[in-house]
Amino acid sequence: MAVALAATACLTSCGRQPSSASDGGAGEASPQAATVPAAPDPATTGGFDGARAYKHVAQLVAIGPHSAGSEGIRRAQAYIIEQLKGFGCPVEEQDFHASTPIGNVAMKNILVKIPSANPNIVIYATHYDTKRLDNFVGADDGGSSTGVVLELARSLCARKNAVTIWLAFLDGEEAFNFQWVDPDNTYGSRELAASLALAGTLPRVKAMILADMVGPANLKIKRESNSTPWLTDLVWSTAQRLGYGNVFVNERIAVEDDHLAFLARGVAACDVIAFDDPVTQALWHTTRDTLDKVDPRSLAIIGHVLLESVPALEKKYR
Ligand SMILES: [Zn+2]
């Protein structure tokens, strides 16, 4: 994703440039910290298991780099699909081709459509591709939110929901070129939104909640300015109610991400992203975005909030 021009000068100038810090991750052995913080007991996070989410991130990282169109992404796709099927989720593969700076690339969105008597749709989304950089595994950027949505799937596919819930694992969020310049980004979300519009399904989509870069310890999630205010309020008030007011803070940041394709078509959307703290900025799109930067406790907080946003949305759209 990219920070919009409204962000601070440092973000604009630092955030889009290759990091000047040393590229220490490439040659290191597994930089996994000796001790991984324990995830909270799932009983305290609405049944969401941060340890399970973390294991998914570890598996995706172990696959290695998986940028759109690469050999690695086929292994990531196989992993995600296998896990979803294991949870009893109905899985659909949306295959498409995208015209990119490196040519025509085959991509795949992986969709779970959990049936409900209520036709109104709520989408929880993540991108699972990693940035096309040598040795880049994207533990936070790509991995963390994908681990969260996989663990969401385990809960949501196993129960009856009072609204139709879709989970979207989006391909091709990352720009092929180093710089984020439209339209070289968000291929998967643009494809999904366009296909829903064409099928006449888009009016049924009442909310799209995107998670991205939610792995680091001491998360601070700012309100994303492009996002729909009422939906942001719903997510933030859910977080507040659960005691995460110190994580979901009221400062603002503008980020370009997969939610924009839905906003552009009039669908309410919200991006849950921890992007601009100095630690994340130093790691972003570098080979130091490794598993040791992901904290199971953060995954548990995000998962808890997303899971508890379901009843609020069910109440609104029942
Ligand atoms: Zn990225």
Q: Which whole-number Å values give the CA distances from 308 to 1, 133, 144, 295, 311, in the listed order?
A: 26, 36, 19, 20, 6
Residue 2's pLDDT is 77
CA 141 to centroid of ligand 1, rounded, Å: 5
Residue 35's pLDDT is 84
CA 129 to centroid of ligand 1, rounded, Å: 9
Residue 8's pLDDT is 38
Residue type, 70: S
Residue 180's pLDDT is 96
Q: Which of 258, 87, 57 is CA-nearest to residue 168?
A: 258
Residues 6+ apart with CB under 8 A from 64: 72, 137
CA 175 to centroid of ligand 1, rounded, Å: 8
Q: Which of 252, 230, 173, 221 is CA-nearest to residue 6?
A: 252
CA 317 to centroid of ligand 1, rounded, Å: 33
CA 316 to centroid of ligand 1, rounded, Å: 33
Residue 285's pLDDT is 96
Low-confidence ranges of the chain (pLDDT < 70): 4-34
CA 311 to centroid of ligand 1, rounded, Å: 30
- DSSP of the chain, one letter per residue? -EE-TTS-HHHHHHHTSPP-S--TTTT-S----SSPPPPPPGGGTTT--HHHHHHHHHHHHHH----TTSHHHHHHHHHHHHHHHHTT--EEEEEEEEEETTEEEEEEEEEEEE--SS--EEEEEEE----SSTT---IIIIIIHHHHHHHHHHHHTTS--SSEEEEEEES--S-SSSS--TTSS-HHHHHHHHHHHHHT-GGGEEEEEEEES--SSS--EEEETTS-HHHHHHHHHHHHHTT-TTTEEEEEE-EE-TTHHHHTTT--EEEEE---SHHHHHHTTSTT--GGG--HHHHHHHHHHHHHHHHHHHHHH-
CA 233 to centroid of ligand 1, rounded, Å: 25
Residue 246's pLDDT is 97
Residue 9's pLDDT is 34
